[in-house]
Structure 1
């Protein structure tokens, strides 16, 4: 079977066996088996999903190149039924990275002259998988790191690719307002949690930061009260979503939001407690890694199909790797594939012929590092 058919068959299998974040048990086992059969030294973890495959000569003073694919799916409603669903393209990313392994295995010029680490990372959708791989020490020795992500049709066309995706930062808060209920006829006896929430929404809209750098903050969930309409609720829960194109602006935005919480607590004499925080950092880019990926795209698709760096408000926990190891030379390939209607849409579709474009580009990027 040729590599293209292997890649497409692998994609079909992974698409039909999607697993959500931190539950990618069968996916881990499936990939580990492929890695072992193709000459990799395999590392799995007793306390989490995900798998690492080391290929080549790791003690020959060669630069170590890591290639990362995310392995988790989303939990969403598809045709009226909730299920694990690969609507973010992670099934494609895994297939492309495995295709790279197969291509290198068939290439005598590279097979015995590289030190490659294949990182199949869990829980990207939770924003915590990359940090778990860092904590396991899996990038301590790595010099270069390449990722890949399918791009929507509006960003990058089929047959095109961009050498870097400049993701923004994201932070999410779940919080509660704590007070006590009161009778609807006696509003002076409590603080209406709904009014506190409305004030928070109003103040969020008054945050003004550098207008040249995209940023936003909004309340995405608010729950208060019950079935009885004559009770003024003193308790509520809510969620906030924050976005910023740079880590510095995210720090400013976060500080403003926390100041609003403190102001509301002091003004209304209520408790506002943050119950959960999630987030991912903005991209910290490497000129050297971008140049390598750009040369690889030029070789495979031609200079006319090599797009400029792609700036997007979306996020990816891939960038925790460079935050935790600042000297790591990393970039993420943005692959055009006629993806519609959009990422995270339950009916997301793309042109499967783009899978091999990804394989060939990553292969050329590896060659660029080792100067073949």
Structure 2
């Protein structure tokens, strides 16, 4: 396999460079979809576009078991050097490259039976892409599912790998404060939306839940008022980001946030509307899948580079696949690559030499899974 990967390295570099230089935000990954489809058009694989949304399903092989790989496609919309733009600061360009590298190697080592399904999924950053794929029945017959994610240097050192990622739960909330404007000289005639926003922040900072479990609640956006400095704004919009290591703690956190908003709404006699944009569940990792990933890391990277499963407060909609379809056995490969300063930083960088190494591990775990066919009715 190493000889094949060495031959493939220039291709992997070319693929990554294109994807990195052509980022697209959630639900707009149309050019990315077209690029992957064209790239694979000359290869012996079955390609299917998702219905009504960006993304592709690519298959190699036939029969049971059905082993799937998911690669997220979307970039973030963020400010980079004073300009807002799409930016691959979460490593999805690398994830797609690793999946494509694995897909290109498999025909050279294809076992006699087993279906390998690659899911190029949109809108992970919105937390809604995986559910859209599930709704189209793409994973109904999947037995094992593997994902991957680059890890920041503070979690995993360069050239180290872990067989699972225990993501926390995440919930993104959009809020609207409904009120009326007033003259700056007459603050008694309305409720200042900015004041309400600051009170929400204060109460979020005062939240107390089980200290043995990590959680956080913070305001990530707020807007009220316009160009006139002598108008007290009565209306405002805000966004909240909630995190919790378990789904139970997230449920409790949500109740607290609702209490805060209802209390301030009653106190100020105004309306505060909350809308959940995405609600990402905490990880459900299958021990059997993680065990095969661990062995693949040991066999292809060496035992000294295999580290314990990563626990992180970050979230990923990958885990909706196993929550919506509990029969699926899943885990994610954690990839150490000297990623700095951190995920979602506008100038995030990582050691790209890790890409062919991750391809080798992912290919190996797919072959191991098909060879074992563990727990699958043939």
Deviations 1:286-311 (A, max 9, x none): 11111111111011111221011101
Distance 1:287 1:152 in 2: 24
Superposed counterparts of 1:84-163, under 5 Å = 84-107=86-109, 110-163=110-163
State the TM-score, normalized to the length of structure 1: 0.93
Deviation at 1:182, TM superposition (A): 2.4
Distance 1:128-1:204 versus aligned 2 partners, 3 A rule: same
Question: Offset at 1:342?
Answer: 1.7
- Give the superposed CA RMSD: 1.8
Question: Equivalent of 1:22, from 1, 22, 27?
Answer: 27
Q: CA deviation at 1:276?
A: 5.2
Q: Give distance in 2, aligned partners of 1:126 and 1:177.
A: 23
Deviations 1:5-55 (A, max 9, x none): 221221112112222211111211221233342222111034110000111
Give distance in 1, aligned partners of 2:348 and 2:190: 48
User: Equivalent residue for 1:191?
Assistant: 191
Partner of 1:215: 215
Whether the 8 Å contact between 2:67 and 2:370 is mirrored in structure 1 is no
Determine helix, strand or coil for the equivalent of 1:23. coil
| Alignment-derived partner of residue 53 in structure 1 | 58
Q: Which moved more, 1:304-313 or 1:27-36?
A: 27-36
- Residues 154-190 of structure 1: CA distance to partner in whole angstroms, max 9, x if unpaired? 2112221010111111112111111112233433322
| Distance change >3 Å, CA 232–CA 69, structure 1 → 2 | same
Q: Which residue does 1:40 correspond to in 2?
A: 45
Say whether the 8 Å CA contact 2:50–2:57 is kept in structure 1: no
C-alpha displacement at 1:219, in angstroms? 1.7
- Give the equivalent residue in structure 1 for 2:18: 13
Secondary structure in 1 matching 2:44 = coil
- Summarize the Cα distance change of 1:37–1:221 in structure 2 as closer, same or farther, 3 Å threshold: same
Structure 2 equivalent of residue 330 of structure 1 = 330
TM-score by length of 2: 0.92
For residues 77 and 187 of structure 2, the distance between their equivalents in structure 1, rounded to whole angstroms, comes to 41
2:87 maps to 1:82: no
Over 3 Å counting, the alpha-carbon distance change for 1:276 and 1:252 in structure 2 is closer
- CA apart distance, 1:275: 4.6
- Note the residue ranges of structure 2 that are not aligned, 5 or more in a row: 1-5, 373-378
Structure 1 residue aligned with 2:67: 65
Work out the CA distance in 2 between the residues paired with 1:189 and 1:341: 47
Instruction: State the SS of the aligned residue for 2:219.
Output: strand
Supply the distance in 2 between the matched residues of 1:295 and 1:64 (Cα, whole angstroms): 20
Q: Comparing 81-90 with 131-140, which one deviates more in the overlay?
A: 81-90
Q: 1:69 to 1:255 in 2, by over 3 A?
A: same
In structure 1, the residue matched to 2:375 is none
- SS of the equivalent of 1:124 reads coil
Other structure's SS at 2:54 match: strand
> Could you tell me how far apart the structure 2 residues matched to 1:345 and 1:277 are?
22
Shift >4 Å, 4+ stretches? none
